[in-house]
């Protein structure tokens, strides 16, 4: 949060024309209505989500009080080329690492939880659009595809794409995990002219090639 505030101060003091704040849909927290619209209550369920919401509030203050042009972008599940593998990696990278080693794909719970996977190229396009759109200032937008994908279906699609003979195994559900999460992107479409172009299959094929799982 401190880093965001420092950047906001520097932008305001330097007469920067527009400040785009990109962060996570974790700020929504407990989901009560699907698809998720920008006016959905923000009730983060983790310290990470709380920090993102706190930073968004600072962005709003700098717009309302100091008249800095700001746009907030709430990213959903971003994936794509050069995505690193570490303890914080998303499910796609973890699945690819297992596929590379011909190991089963571990799914927590029944696997019917949904996520909205959006390719990094579409996310990059959204940032450029946010810098230019006349009707975006002072607003927040969902950056996603608007398409829900179950974790089971994600695993099956990756197995199909990579042609690996592995199974999906189910483990105990994780406490506090959000069951369903996918976005309504109509506001981003209308105000930013945002229109995601990379299909999940195409994006996964590219990433699988990067990981050496698909020739």
Q: Which residues of the chain have pLDDT under 50?
A: none
Q: Is residue 50 assigned to a domain?
A: yes
Specify the pLDDT at position 159. Answer: 98
Q: Is residue 215 assigned to a domain?
A: no
Specify the pLDDT at position 84. Answer: 78
Q: How many folded domains does the chain comprise? A: 1
Give the range of the structural domain holding residue 173, as residue numbers without chain letter: 2-210
Specify the pLDDT at position 177. Answer: 84
DSSP 8-state code for residue 168? E
Specify the pLDDT at position 2. Answer: 94
Cα–Cα distance measured from residue 48 to residue 71, given in angstroms and rounded to the nearest whole number: 20
Active site residue 48: yes
Rg (CA), the chain: 18
Instruction: List b or e across 128-156, with b for residues whose CB sees 16 or more CB atoms inside 10 angstroms.
Output: ebbeebeebbebbbbbbbbbbbbbbebbe
The 10s digit of each residue's pLDDT in 22-43 is: 999 989 988 989 999 999 999 9
Whether residue 121 contacts residue 101, with contact meaning beta carbons closer than 8 Å, is answered with no
What secondary structure does DSSP assign to 60-119, as a single string?
A: HHHHHTT--EEEEEEE-EEE-TT---STT--HHHHHHHHHHTT-PEEEETTS--EE-EEE
How far from the centroid of its chain's Cα atoms is residue 61's Cα? Answer: 24
Q: Is residue 148 assigned to a domain?
A: yes
Domain holding 144: CATH number?
Answer: 3.40.50.720
Return the biggest CA–CA distance within the chain.
58
Q: Is residue 188 assigned to a domain?
A: yes
Specify the pLDDT at position 87. Answer: 61
Cα–Cα distance measured from residue 164 to residue 160, given in angstroms and rounded to the nearest whole number: 7
* List 21, 23, 48, 194, catalytic entry: 48
Cα–Cα distance measured from residue 89 to residue 83, given in angstroms and rounded to the nearest whole number: 8
Specify the pLDDT at position 181. Answer: 94
Peptide bond into 35 cis (omega under 30): yes
């Amino acid at each position: 949060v401190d880093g965001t505030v420092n950047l906001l101060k520097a932008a305001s003091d330097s007469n920067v024309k527009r400040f785009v704040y990109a962060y996570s849909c974790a700020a929504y927290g407990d989901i009560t209505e699907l698809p998720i619209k920008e006016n959905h209550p923000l009730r983060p369920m983790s310290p990470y989500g709380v920090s993102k919401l706190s930073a968004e509030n600072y962005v709003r203050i700098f717009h309302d009080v100091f008249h800095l042009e700001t746009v907030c972008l709430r990213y959903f599940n971003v994936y794509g080329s050069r995505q690193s593998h570490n303890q914080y990696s998303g499910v796609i990278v973890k699945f690819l690492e297992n596929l590379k080693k011909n190991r089963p794909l571990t799914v927590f719970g029944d696997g019917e939880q949904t996520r909205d996977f959006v390719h990094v190229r579409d996310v990059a396009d959204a940032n450029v659009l946010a810098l230019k759109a006349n009707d975006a200032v002072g607003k927040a937008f969902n950056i996603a595809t608007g398409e829900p994908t179950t974790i089971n279906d994600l695993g099956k699609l990756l197995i199909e794409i990579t042609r690996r003979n592995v199974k999906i195994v189910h483990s105990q559900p994780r406490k506090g995990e959000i069951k369903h999460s996918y976005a309504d992107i109509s506001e981003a479409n209308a105000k930013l002219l945002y229109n995601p172009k990379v299909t999940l299959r195409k994006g996964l094929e590219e990433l699988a090639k990067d990981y050496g799982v698909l020739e």
